[in-house]
Chain A
Amino acid sequence: DTEVTQTPKHLVMGMTNKKSLKCEQHMGHRAMYWYKQKAKKPPELMFVYSYEKLSINESVPSRFSPECPNSSLLNLHLHALQPEDSALYLCASSEGGQPNEKLFFGSGTQLSVL
Chain B
Amino acid sequence: AQKVTQAQTEISVVEKEDVTLDCVYETRDTTYYLFWYKQPPSGELVFLIRRNSFDEQNEISGRYSWNFQKSTSSFNFTITASQVVDSAVYFCALSEGSSSNTGKLIFGQGTTLQVKP
Do A and B belong to a common assembly? no
Q: Which residues of A contact B (CB under 8 A)?
A: none
